[in-house]
Structure 1
Amino acid sequence: MTAAAHHHELYTVEQVRALDRRAIEVLGIPGYELMQRAAAVALVCLRQHWPKARRIAVYGGPGNNGGDGFLLAALAREAGIHAEVFAYGESRGEDAVRARREFEHGGGTVHAWRQDIELPLVDVHVDALYGTGLTRALAAEVAALVDRIHATGAPVLALDVPSGVNADTGDVPGAAVQANVTVTFIAAKRGLFTGLAPGYVGNVQWEPLGLPETLWQDAQADAELMRPWTLPSRPRQAHKGNNGHVLAIGGDHGTAGAIRLCGEAALRGGAGLVSVATRAEHLTALNSARPELMVHEVNGPQALEALLPRATVLALGPGLGQGAWGHALWLTAIESGKPLVLDADGLNLLAREPRELPATAVITPHPGEAARLLDCDTAAIAKDRFAAARELTRRYRAVAVLKGAGSLVADSNGRVAVCPWGNPGMATGGMGDLLTGIIAALIAQGCDAWQAACLGVALHARAGDLAARQGGGERGLLATDLLDPLRRLLNGQDS
């Protein structure tokens, strides 16, 4: 096994520091050598992404991140690239001081950063201001520098973490560098892939610095990045009864679209049968639009109870509402003990009236719903999405999908998976209804709650990316645009 085997592992800042200490103290690799390796791979990264770059500006902070920047600038000069360095503060720490001296002894000039300095015309800016340790907002003068860097229009390479991004949580408490590429060292930091961070990191490139596999022995990653996978091919003798029966419950007055999207996604997700329990007024429209759905008028709990015995899994919440009708169906569905995927008003009712969920259950809140479920505000959810996802699964004893950029899936075993796919075009109505149906279909086909949530989130996000690429872009993307790509991905195509 090589270090590349850890490509999908995500670590907290403290875990990365422990790996760094292990490399120095146990493997005997000096800290300065690690800094040299970081600078070397950063230069390779820069030349890969901007092969015609001839002038760069490096902005170095006082710590080891700044040291990485000084050594990168020294190597760039040796390679014939003009490199100017602007230092924010005096270097601190033996390795950072040594790196600065090496750059200067090689003929480089370090400009002490002042507000009245004009930024040079360069091909690439290099952010080496702060590393993984910064959790507060950038100081006003640093934020002003960041704004000026962005105003030049030149691309930015961030070393390890874009300054202003919390590497642990993905939160961005103030101004931050918007990098085109982030080259991150030793281990991938979990915060780079979720929350606000995806809007700042650009393309993330992980570099293990040539460290041996022994560095990661006995190291337990905090989370993992999802990888593309799908279900195995079906046997030739399969019939619809082998692939489960989804019962989608919802669609109060005026919300037929939500429950139709959920039901149709369950069909496209491979369920053998899909029934819909909804208001009488929606029967004609749903039967006409998608005759493969078995649509039933459900005017109360007794009518729903008649449908439950045939169901493998329930998809509860899209268009359900929070009135008497929706509440009665919600309560009946939960008390049935059937495997359950809970979304939308199903979650709002759960926040209002906590109940023990069935043994197999997946909840899929967006940040607003998560805040209601945890009795806090959305700012608290954004501040630490990993903690929020884990608290959701602890409190409700269900697999939790915390939606948003870099959706998280958490379970009671402490596992967290982070989705690296998806795009802003998916921020439209109906996308969550699709996800509910997809996850329910996967449970119907035999996946456990963790597998169904991870695969469902991945397929949903990847289908969104395919739909955006093949359909003309992200803006104007509709939920129904995902259904054809979803089918192809589920069958191992377009992967």
Structure 2
Amino acid sequence: MMPLFDLTTIRSIETAAAEAGVNLMARAGLAIAEWIGARYPASASVLAVTGRGNNGGDALVAGALLLARGYRVDALLPMGEPGSMEAIAALSAFRAAGGQVLSGWDQAQGYALALDGLFGIGLSRPLQDSARRTVERLNDLDCPILALDCPSGLDAWSGMPKPVAVRADATLTFICPKPGLYTGDGRDYSGDITLAALGLPEDWCPPWPANCGALNLPDSLALDALQRAGNSHKGDYGSVAVLGGASGMGGAVLLAARAALLSGAGKVFAGFAGECPPLDPLYPELMLRDAASLLEQPDLSVLAIGPGLGTATSAALLLEHALEQPLPCVLDADALNLLAHHPALAERVRQHPAPCVLTPHPGEAARLLGSSVADSQADRIGSARALAERFQAVVVLKGAGSLIARPGGHYRLNPTGHAGMAAAGQGDTLTGLIAGLMAQGCPAFDASAMACWLAGRGAERLARRGVGPVGLTASETAQAARAELNRWLHPAANG
């Protein structure tokens, strides 16, 4: 379990460390020096660009350690001399170790690496003119940048720049991961992320609150249902019905149904609101039906509603009929748009007797919340939590760093995937994966989190083979997710 604590909790951990006599700045400085030592030879030159607080002090402590190891390290203090006692002491030790302080940016040339120690994670207001110019000057350096804890100017929780931020090649974050490194614009600013936990005892951390977040890692999910007994049959693994496919949009239903099949569901039906084709030539195992009549199928386990459904009156009636069934539901695409425009349908979701999962992209989330896309994206965690409470459902807020939230406030932040997944049909595939895992007995929250992880990790593995990121298709993602699921369930057999 890798928790995502809020700022108040992190500050309480820092206070506990101080009361125990533990010098966190010394530990952070050592972690920085070790990170650099593992990647750069002692002949390399390093520039520490520091602010007035302890974030800058961390960089200066690291600089003194690197000087002792033979590195050339200079410091630049564009915000002025340190303001905290710890940072003042760090600058004194840096100078005593032989470190030089540059007089201006014109001297900051020819370094192998720059350390971003300007601002810490507590930045709460937009950067003013001088601070903005400092960030822009740092970005203009002709060397890689290592951000310390969080790229300066980036909101450590929303992942949004304020309004500019350091574009780091890598980030070394301390104590616990910060959500903003993984979601929103954070991925474009953070680079490769490494956690330095600083060796803090677990009992220094407060009891983990129920509304805390965590990075989405499959080892911490309840997935025992996916283990298969040798003496089993298709009926043991559930039946999924995917409903949608208005005229001209039948591909969305097929993508979702195929993904449900590839995730292991025992039987999968594809229900078309428009013309129903006779079969799926790629996956003839799928059973194709008229959407309305499919709801009369007696042995369904999970309904997935919305891919290509449209928003006509007939679509609203089909969604209403589907929500009358006491079955777990995954609601996507046009089903979400219908919820946003029909309060009675939204109330049916809130009162639904079985678990529901909503999978909005940012535009759909904004419509469901009655806000703008910009507002919902500015606080993705808050948006996902608000939707989970409003609909009393599991919510998957898709996008960079997809968020999986449930009523009560607990959420998962998915770290897998890449920009190649910003393509048509990827959401349909995710819907099918979630429904297929739920049909096999996975709880709605765990199935949603696992599906996000599988799709993202599968897409990453494809990109390493040259299949994407550009041109990655949803069909390829579904097959890669199947491979990841089997790799996770049977590591000895799959390598």
Q: Structure 1 length normalisation: TM-score?
A: 0.92
| Identity over aligned pairs, percent | 38
The letter of the residue matching 2:75 is V
Q: Indicate the SS of the match to 2:102.
A: strand
Q: 1:219 to 1:228 in 2, by over 3 A?
A: closer
Contact 1:135 1:164 in 2 (8 A): no
CA offset digits 1:303-338 (Å, max 9, x no partner): 35423x321110000000001221111111112232
Partner of 1:63: 53
Instruction: Give the drift of 1:142.
Output: 3.4
The equivalent of 1:360 in structure 2 is 355
Correspondence 1:106 to 2:97: yes
**In 2 relative to 1, CA 118–215 (structure 1 residues): closer, same or farther, beyond 3 Å?**
same
- Per-residue deviation, 1:217: 5.4
Instruction: Indicate which of 1, 10, 33 corresponds to 1:16.
Output: 10
2:50 touches 2:56 (CA, 8 Å); kept in 1?
Answer: yes
Please, which of 237, 245, 263 is the counterpart of residue 251 of structure 1? 245
Residues 343/51 of structure 1: CA separation in 2 closer, same or farther (3 Å cut) = farther
Q: Which residue number in structure 1 is paired with residue 184 of structure 2?
A: 195
- Kept in 1, the 8 Å contact 2:42–2:71? The answer is no
Letter in structure 1 aligned against 2:370: D
| Residue 24 (structure 2) aligns with | 34
Counterpart code for 1:191 = G
Instruction: Tell me the CA shift for residue 245 of structure 1.
Output: 0.7
Which segment is superposed worse, 142-151 or 63-72? 142-151
Amino acid at match of 1:419: N
Name the residue aligned to 1:157.
Answer: 146
Quickly say closer, same or farther: Cα 1:252–1:51, change in 2 above 3 A.
Answer: farther
- Indicate if the aligned counterparts of 1:12 and 1:190 stay in contact, CA closer than 8 A: no
Aligned 8 A contact 2:246 2:275 in 1: no
1:277 aligns with 2:243: no
Within 5 A, what are the aligned runs for 1:332-481? 332-353=321-342, 354-357=346-349, 358=352, 359-481=354-476
Cα distance between partner residues in 2 of 1:173 and 1:65: 18
The 2-side partners of 1:41 and 1:467 are apart by 33
Mapped partners of 1:194, 1:96: distance in 2? 30
CA distance in 1, matches of 2:355, 2:21: 48
SS in structure 2 at match of 1:355? helix
Q: Which residue of 2 aligns with 1:290?
A: 283
- The answer for the alignment partner of 1:317 in structure 2 is 306
Q: Report the alpha carbon displacement of residue 478 of structure 1 after superposing the two structures with TM.
A: 0.7
Cα distance in structure 1, aligned partners of 2:182 and 2:477: 23
Partner Cα distance (2:273, 2:371) in 1: 33
- Pick closer, same or farther for the CA change 1:471–1:104 going to 2, 3 Å: closer
- Listed one character per residue, the Cα deviations across residues 210-232 of structure 1 (whole Å, up to 9, x for unaligned) are 32333125354821112235654
Question: What CA deviation, in whole Å up to 9, does each residue of 1:221-250 have, x standing for no partner?
Answer: 821112235654311121111111101000
Q: CA RMSD in A?
A: 2.0
Q: 1:236 aligns with which of 230, 240, 265?
A: 230
Q: Do the aligned partners of residues 351 and 124 (structure 1) sit closer, same or farther apart at CA in structure 2, a change above 3 Å counting?
A: same
CA displacement at 1:192 relative to structure 2: 2.0
Which amino acid in the other structure matches residue 261 of structure 1? L
Select between 155-164 and 197-206 the one with higher mean Cα deviation. 197-206
Is the 2:73–2:100 Cα contact (8 Å) retained in structure 1? Answer: no
Q: In structure 2, what is the Cα distance between the partners aligned to 1:416 and 1:112?
A: 46
Q: Counterparts of 2:186 and 2:406 in 1: how far apart (Å)?
A: 23
**Matching of residues 259-270 of structure 1 within 5 Å:** 259-270=253-264
Per-residue deviation, residues 65-112 of structure 1 (Å, max 9, x unmatched): 111122222222222111111112231121112212222233333235
- Asked whether the 8 Å contact 2:42–2:70 carries over to 1, the reply is no
Q: CA offset at residue 169 of structure 1? A: 2.1
Deviation at 1:411, TM superposition (A): 0.8
CA distance 1:74–1:400, shift in 2 (3 Å):
same
For residue 489 of structure 1, report the CA deviation from its aligned partner: 1.7
Provide closer, same or farther for how the CA distance between residues 394 and 279 of structure 1 changes in structure 2, counting only shifts above 3 A.
closer
Q: How far apart are 1:446 and its partner, in Å?
A: 0.6
Q: Structure 1 residues 292, 95: closer, same or farther in 2, change over 3 A?
A: same
Matched residue, 2:62: 72
Please point out which of 54, 63, 66 is paired with 2:44.
Answer: 54
Paired letter, 1:226: N
Residue pair 1:89, 1:112 contacting (<8 A) in 2 also:
no
Cα offsets for 1:10-54 (capped at 9, x unmatched): 1112211110001112x232xxx2211211110111121333661
Shift of 1:420: 0.9
- Is the contact between residue 59 and residue 129 of structure 1 (CA under 8 Å) also seen in structure 2? yes
Give the TM-score of the pair, scaled to structure 2: 0.92
Q: Give aligned pairs, total.
A: 478
Q: Give the whole-Å Cα distance in 1 for the aligned partners of 2:386 and 2:206.
A: 28
Give the superposition deviation at 1:113: 4.6
Aligned partners of 1:46 and 1:157 also within 8 Å: no
Q: Once the two structures are superposed, what CA deviation does each residue of 1:130-177 show, in whole Å capped at 9, x if it has no partner? A: 001113333333333433433344111111111011112222232211
- Tell me the equivalent position of 1:92: 83
Q: Secondary structure at the match of 2:364?
A: helix
Q: Deviations over 1:360-384 (max 9, x none)?
A: 1000111111111111111212221
- How far off is 1:122 after superposition? 0.4
Distance 1:78 1:379, change over 3 A: same
Query: In the alignment, what sits opposite 2:166?
Result: 177
How far the C-alpha of 1:476 sits from its partner, in A, is 0.9
Distance 1:151 1:39 in 2: 25
Give structure 2 stretches of 5+ with no counterpart: none
Unmatched 5+ residue regions in structure 1?
A: 1-5
Cα pair 2:394 2:405 within 8 Å, conserved: yes
More deviation, 228-237/181-190: 228-237
